[in-house]
Structure formats: structure tokens, C-alpha cells
Amino acid sequence: MKSRRDFLQKITVTAFSIPLVSSLTPGVLARSTSFEKNDKVLRVAMMGLGSYANRVADAMKDCKRAKITGVISGTPTKIKDWQSRFNIPAKNCYNYGNFDAILNNPDIDAVYITTPNALHHSQCLRVAAAGKHVICEKPMAINAKEGREMIEACKKAGVQLLIGYRMHFEANTKEVVRMRRDGEFGKIMFFQGLSGFIIGDPTQWRLNYELAGGGAMMDIGIYSINGARYMIGEDPIWVTAQEVKTDPVKFKEGVDETITFQMGFPSGAIASCLSTYSMNYLDKFYLNGIKGFAEMQPSTGYGPIKSATHKGRLDLPHVTHQTTQMDEMAAIILDGKIPMIPVDGEEGWKDMVIIDAIFEAVKTGKKVEIKYV
């Protein structure tokens, strides 16, 4: 595969040849939102039917406000399987070449994009042009420029753009953020984020620069970036970063294996983080303030999240993250609900601005000032 453009052309040609397939606090419940049976339901088409799409779809079986009503895929056998599992009619099944036709499909309100990172931008623009809301997995794009174009396209089309930040709805995470906002930790001084695992199959798309736009930082390091922002409650204004690569065959040019990075915030707080594809058991957040602390390990895994503060353990009840996420996103789109921690396009764009700065810091070896423009 010579370039991203080659891939996009290849997938489009292939797609056109595929026919349509026939046929919060301790003591309260983890899911604080109650939904009435007569509330409107968000009808969602899943785009890209890989492992994560399956995880989301299975979790949505327990949703009260969201349901799977359509699919978009380049693989006919996957479409057939999903039709059977979720009772999806043939008229709601599309491929990558013809999904613009969702414009005329009243059974679909939103499209959840779970394809490789490099495809998010073009697919988001097409979904927005079709008048459907966009839910896009993180990272929202491969750089901040693409992210901004996605935001503007959705604004122009009058649809919402939400990013799949499932942790923003997780009970332990929300409780720690509440405590920080209420001043229970005092002035925040330091955050540590450790995000990593040993990646397997060397041929997967996550290790292909043309599809992933990077390596571990795009996939797992973004959790520490985003976590630092919502735990501290600020956006960083500078970053320094260092890269270590022990296997240049597996981790080719542009595909980062391990990056350590440091961020500075307007209040003076600092963050020290690690993103890696070559070490296991790295899923930890630690927040330090002058009056107390919070720690979470695991902090962003599928759960249950384990958490504690200077006041004792939290470990609030576990609910499948994607179930809560999709019910809450339905409330955002259908009811105008404002989430405790943002999940809109601007939130995703800020993470891309920071990732761009981290890559620049790695390349130059210099401290990079971050400007959100």
C-alpha cells in the first residue's frame, strides 16, 4: 500500500462493487440519568463493523435511548451477520460507495464511525452532507486540521459531531472530576498518566501509518492526554516529548512505539505521561493537589474502574461504558443535554492539537507552545 490516497481509491472501488445485502457520587447508582419508556430513541447506523463496533453494538442491547437500525460496511458477510443479529432490514444496509443515500433514510438519525483513523475525516464529511449526526471514534482525525474541517462541515450541515469519549460518562471518573471542581483536592499540582500495552499482530491497521496516522499515541496515548485535561480541568499550554523505538521493523517510520511527554497548564500544574505499544499493565491516572489526591487503576480500560482518593476508596458500580455512553449521547443529540465533561468536536480537536504538538516536540527536541487556533 503506497499511500493513503491509494487505499482510499481502492476501498471506494471495492465498495462500489458490493451490492446491498438483502434481508456519582458514592451511594448513588452509576448511571445517574433515568430515561422514560416513552422518550425518543436515537437510531444509529454503525460504520465499520470491526471488533470495537461489535463491542458498542452488544452494549447497546441494554440501552434505553439508542438502538442499531443500520450498518455501513465493505464486507457483505459482516452485513449479513449484523442483519441477523440486530434485525436490520436490507434498505438500511450500505457499503462505502453508496452510503450517501442515507440522506433519504428516515430510519437513521446518526452514524457511528469506527473505521481506521485516516478514514474518519472523509467519512464524517459525507455523513454530515447527508444530514445525519456524527459520532466518531477517537482520535477524531489524524491531525488538528482535519478535525477542524470535520467540525465546520457538521456546523454547516446543522448536525452534531460527538467523539467517542466513553470515560466522560463513567461514574468513578465523574466523581473524581466533581471532587476536583468542588475544591476537595485543593490547588492541583500534578497529574500522571500511564497508557500502554503490548500490541500484537504486526500487520494490523494500527501499525500502518497510512491508516492510523501514527502509532501508540493515536490509539492509547490519547487517553492520558484527554485524562490530564479533564482531571486537571485545564488545557495544556506547552509540551515536551521524547520517543523511544526498540523495534523499527514492527514500528516503521511515523509509527511511534513509546513516547514520554510532559505538559504544562495555565495554573502551573504539570503532567508527566507515557504512551506505549511495548509494555503491559499501564493503565493508571494519578492526580495530586495540595489538599488531597485521586488515583485510578485501571483508569480507562473497559472496566471495572478501580479508584481511590485521600478520603478512601470509590469503586463505584460498574455499568458497561458503551451502554452509558450511547444513552447519554442520545440525550445530548435528542434532548440538548449538556454533559458534565464535553464530548463534542471541539473536545476532540483539542486532543488533536496536543498530539500535533507532541509529534513536533519529538521531531525537534524542543519545548512546543500550544495554541488552540
| 293-329 per-position pLDDT tens digit | 999 999 999 999 999 999 999 999 999 999 999 999 9
Q: Tell me the helices (H) and strands (E) count for the chain, helix number first.
A: 11, 15
- CATH level 3 topology of 4-165: Rossmann fold (3.40.50)
How buried is 279 (Cβ within 10 angstroms: 0-12 exposed, 13-18 middle, 19+ buried)? middle
Q: Give the model confidence (pLDDT) of 263-300 as tens digits.
A: 999 999 999 999 999 999 999 999 999 999 999 999 99
112 is catalytic: no
- Whether 332 and 339 have beta carbons less than 8 Å apart is answered as yes
pTM attached to this predicted model: 0.90
> Is the fold of 4-165 the same as that of 167-314+344-369?
no
For residue 153, what pLDDT is reported? Answer: 98
Residue numbers in the chain where pLDDT is lower than 70:
1-38
**What ranges do the domains of the chain cover?**
4-165, 167-314+344-369
Catalytic residue among 96, 165, 223, 277: 223
Give the distance from CA 237 to its chain's centroid.
22
For residue 68, what pLDDT is reported? Answer: 98
Q: What is the DSSP letter of 120?
A: H
Which CATH code fits 167-314+344-369? 3.30.360.10
138 is catalytic: yes
CA atoms 77, 206, 299, 230: torsion sign: negative
- Whether 151 and 124 have beta carbons less than 8 Å apart is answered as no
Angle between helices 345-364 and 222-232 (to 10 degrees): 120
For residue 181, what pLDDT is reported? Answer: 98
For residue 39, what pLDDT is reported? Answer: 79
The string of DSSP codes covering 328-360 is HHHHHHHH----SS--BHHHHHHHHHHHHHHHH
For residue 91, what pLDDT is reported? Answer: 98
For residue 5, what pLDDT is reported? Answer: 39
For residue 35, what pLDDT is reported? Answer: 44
Catalytic residue among 96, 132, 138, 284: 138
